[in-house]
Structure 1
C-alpha cells in the first residue's frame, strides 16, 4: 500500500502540473493500528492547507483539479469508507480500512522510495523502514516545501525502543519531501509469568495489610481489657 501511495503521489503531481511553493501546503497522514489478533486497521488522510487552496485559486486552478489530485492519492487504498477531513487548517479526505492481515505489512516497498516492514514474532512487535523522500517520483520539494508527511503506528504492547515520537503506545514519525528517513520501533507484550508474579505480589501485600490491621485490633482489645 505504501508503494502504491508513493506512485499515486507521482501521478497526481504530474497531472496537476505542480504548482507554487507554499509552506505546509499538503498533509499526508497514514495511521496504522496493530491489534492483538494480528490484524491492522487504519486511516490515510490527504488534505490541502486552506492557504494553499487560496493561492491555487489565484493561479487559475479550480477545486475540481485539487480534488482530482487527492482522489489520485486515495484511489485504491484498502477499504471503501471515505469521510471529509477538516482539521488544523487542512481540508481533504480520509480513507479508512480495517481487518487487514498483519502479514500484508511484513514486506512493503522495494521501490525507489524505500520499504516498511511490520512483524509480530513471539512477544515482540518490530517495525523497520527506510523512506527516501529525495527519490525521483516523490513530491518535488521545490513545489511542496514543508509538506507534512506523517506515519503513526499504534502497538498492542509496551513500546521499548523507537526513533520517532512516543505517546502511550503510539509512535509517530514526521517527515518532509527531500529528506531520507530510517524508521524503527519495538514493542513487547508482557509475559504470563510477569502477570503471575505481579498477582502474587499483590496477594502478599493484601495479606500483609490484613495481618497488620488484625494485629492492631487485637492490641487495642488487649489494652482495653487490661484497663478495665
Structure 2
C-alpha cells in the first residue's frame, strides 16, 4: 500500500514535528474487489479529520502541506482517477483503479511494513498478509495511535475461512499503528459440474416421485372401480 516515496514523506513529516497527536486524526481505507476474470479494482482513501485540520491550522500548517502529505500516501497506489473525499468528519482524496491483473497483487508491498498476497488457484482464492504497523517509517504510533486503517477485500466466491470481519463475500480488517497483524482469507468458487449433476439428480427424483404418486392414484382408481 505504501511505497518508498510515501515512507520517506512520513519520516520527514514526523522529524520536522509537523504532525501532532490527535484522536482519530487520519483515515486510510483500502478496498479491493477481486473479479472472476482475475482482475482487481479498488479504491484507496486518505483523509484527515476535520478536527485535525483545524488544529493544524492553529499551529501554522496550511492546507497545501496537508494535501501534499495525503498525495504522498496516494502515490503508493496505482490510482487512475482521484476525487475529493468528504465523509463522517474526514476530508481528503480517493484514488480509484480498475482492471489491474491479479498477478500484480501476488506480492504487494514487501518493504519494512509488510506484504499482501492475493492469488487464484483452481477454484480457490487466497489472501495472505503480514503488516507490522509498529515499523518506524510507516506511521509514528505516538502521533497516530488512533488512526483508522481499514483493508477490505471483496471476493467473487464464497468465503470459507478468514480472520477479519465478514459481510457477504467481503472481508474487512481494522488496524491501528503500533500493532502487528497477520491477515488471511480463503474463498472457494462453486463447482459447476457438481451443481449440474445435483440438478439432474434432483430433477430425476422429482419426476420419480410424481410418477409414483400418479401410479398410486391410477391403481386406487382401478381397484375401486373394477371393470365389468
TM-score range, shorter chain: 0.7 to 0.9
Deviation digits for residues 93-138 of structure 1 (CA, Å, limit 9, x no counterpart): 1100011111111112221111111111111111111000001101
Greater alpha carbon shift after TM alignment, 196-205 vs 64-73: 196-205
| Number of the residue aligned with 1:84 | 84
Aligned 8 A contact 2:152 2:172 in 1: yes
Note the 1:105-120 alignment, pairs <5 A: 105-120=105-120
Gap regions ≥5 residues in structure 2: none
Secondary structure in structure 1 of the residue aligned to 2:141: coil
Distance 2:34 2:2 in 1: 19
C-alpha separation in 1, matches of 2:208 and 2:90: 57
C-alpha displacement at 1:207, in angstroms? 3.2
| Structure 1 stretches of 4+ moved >4 Å | 208-222
Number of equivalences: 224
Once superposed, what is the RMSD of the aligned Cα atoms?
2.5
CA contact (8 A) 1:28 1:149 kept: yes
Contact 2:2 2:73 in 1 (8 A): no
Q: Structure 1 unaligned segments of length 5 or more: list them.
A: none
Q: Distance in 1 between matches of 2:218 and 2:51?
A: 76
Higher mean alpha-carbon deviation, 59-68 vs 208-217, is at 208-217
Q: Relative to structure 1, is the Cα distance of residues 206 and 89 closer, same or farther in structure 2, using a 3 angstrom cutoff?
A: farther
Contact 1:7-1:138 at 8 Å conserved across structures: no
TM-score scaled by length of structure 2:
0.87
Q: For residues 29 and 63 of structure 2, what CA distance do their matches in structure 1 show?
A: 21
Deviation at 1:213, TM superposition (A): 7.8
8 Å CA contact 1:7, 1:137 repeated in 2: no
- Find the residue that maps to 1:33 and give its secondary structure: strand
**Change in CA separation of 1:216 and 1:76 when aligned onto 2, cut-off 3 Å:** same
